[in-house]
Amino acid sequence: MTSYFVTRHKGAVAWAKARGIAAEHVCHLDVEKIRPGDIVLGTLPVSLVAEVCARGGRYLHLTMEMPPEDRGRELTAKDMDAFGARLEEFTAERVV
C-alpha cells in the first residue's frame, strides 16, 4: 500500500508533516500507479477521485473553511490550522 499527498503548496506539505502524515508528496497524480488499498490525499477534481476509487484506492480530501479574501494566496501550515484544515474521506463513481 502506498499513500500519495497531491499538492503543489509548501504550506500543505508542512501541515501534513506536522501531523505525522507519512505519504509520498507528488505535484500531479498518475492514476495509472494507483493499486487497491492505496491512499490519495489532496484536493482532486471529482473525475480523478472516481478514477482512484475505481482502481480500489481511497481518497481523503483536504478540506478547510477559507474566507474568500484568503483564496489565491499561499497558505502556511498555521493558516491552514486557523481555517480548520482536516482530511475527510470521500468516494466517487463515474456514471455511464
Between CA 51 and CA 61 the distance in angstroms is 14
Residue 75 — very low, low, confident or very high, per pLDDT cuts 50/70/90? very high
Q: Whole-model pTM?
A: 0.93
Task: Locate 48 and state its grid cell.
Answer: 480523478
Residue with cell 499538492: 7
Mean pLDDT of the chain: 96
The residue ranges of every structural domain in the chain are 3-90
